[in-house]
Amino acid sequence: MKKKKALAGVGIVCVFGIALSACATQSDMSDLRAQMDSLSTRVSKVETHSPGSGGGGSQLADMETRLDNQKLRIARLRDRMERINHRLDQLMNKIETQNAQLSSLGKAGANGPKGPATPIASPPGKGASAPSPAPSAVPGVAVVKGPSQPTESPDMIYHQAYSDYQQGHFDVAIHEFGSLVEQYPDSHLASSAVFWEAQSNYNLQHYHRALALYDAVIHKYVGSPKKATAYYKKGQVYEHLNDRKLAVHNYRRVLELFPLEQQLGDLAKRRLSRLDE
């Protein structure tokens, strides 16, 4: 029944179409075709420009791909930068070790009967060239005085101290990091040593001592790469000391001063929202 109705409908449309075409002239038909063409062109143009259309979608996909590529490039650049920094650190360590060796050789030579009258090289650290005991970098930090002439390079002391830190020997690590800062206050490892000394105190729950050392990282070593972390850690310490105001202040400092430290920023935001609850 439905089929019959459909066939009848198609028939009527055909008859109507034939009648119409008989009425319309050739020029009318060509005009109509031209209008149809222009309309379809407009429709396609609109489709291309509208954001929800397929063309827009493909543009968006292109943009996303480009963005992904850029992200990848940035990541690769970061990777290269990290590697270069790492190499630089290694080179600095080597230079300091060699300087320390040269210095000790020079002094040994100077003390000997036929040694040269002047030292061969001056090490970068004050401690190495000035045997008089330097005061501890941070007040209240006990440092056991060793022999006036440093026998180990800052690199060696640092790695031993860090190794002790990683094995949970925080008391020993505190002593070793402190000794590095005392002997080589100008070493490029000094700021890191103070930071890890602070970390050791933090892990031992010596919070006031840790605060003093984090402050030293922030204020004494202006270019320290651990500065942002020191602010965050200060926030953590103040949380442990139940000083909400100062904890909030330090987390905010992380956000204000180090907008590029994404991980720390997110952690600080999380802590701030927790403290607001």
In the complex, the smallest distance separating the C-beta of residue 160 from other proteins, rounded to whole angstroms, is 10
Q: CA geometry: angle at 121 spanning 92 and 105, to 5°? A: 100
3-class secondary-structure state, position 274:
helix
Residue nearer to other proteins on the CB measure, 106 or 237 = 237
Q: Kindly determine how many residues on this chain lie close enough to bind other proteins according to the rule CB under 8 A.
A: 29
Residue window 217-256: x/- pattern of binding to other proteins, with contact defined by CB under 8 A: ---------x--x--xx--x--------------------
Residue nearer to other proteins on the CB measure, 159 or 249 = 159
In the complex, the smallest distance separating the C-beta of residue 217 from other proteins, rounded to whole angstroms, is 12
Torsion (CA) 99, 100, 106, 108 in degrees, nearest 10: -160
In the complex, the smallest distance separating the C-beta of residue 191 from other proteins, rounded to whole angstroms, is 14
Q: State the Cα–Cα distance between residues 210 and 198, nearest whole angstrom.
A: 4
From residue 234, give the alpha-carbon distance in Å to each of 196, 205, 238: 13, 13, 6
Tell me if 26 contacts other proteins by CB under 8 A. no
Q: Residue 208's closest CA among 238, 231, 229?
A: 238
DSSP structural state of residue 136: P
Residue nearer to other proteins on the CB measure, 107 or 252 = 252
DSSP structural state of residue 146: -
In the complex, the smallest distance separating the C-beta of residue 82 from other proteins, rounded to whole angstroms, is 6
DSSP structural state of residue 165: H
In the complex, the smallest distance separating the C-beta of residue 65 from other proteins, rounded to whole angstroms, is 15
Please, which of residues 131-190 interact with other proteins by CB under 8 A?
Answer: 159, 162-163, 166-168
Please, which of residues 44-103 interact with other proteins by CB under 8 A?
Answer: 71-72, 75-76, 78-79, 82-83, 86
Residue nearer to other proteins on the CB measure, 21 or 203 = 203
Beta strands, E only, 15-154: none
Q: State the Cα–Cα distance between residues 186 and 221, nearest whole angstrom.
A: 10
In the complex, the smallest distance separating the C-beta of residue 17 from other proteins, rounded to whole angstroms, is 51
In the complex, the smallest distance separating the C-beta of residue 200 from other proteins, rounded to whole angstroms, is 10
DSSP states of 82-121: HHHHHHHHHHHHHHHHHHHHHHHHHHHHHHSTT--SS-S-
Residues that bind other proteins (CB under 8 A): 71-72, 75-76, 78-79, 82-83, 86, 159, 162-163, 166-168, 199, 203, 226, 229, 232-233, 236, 262-267, 270
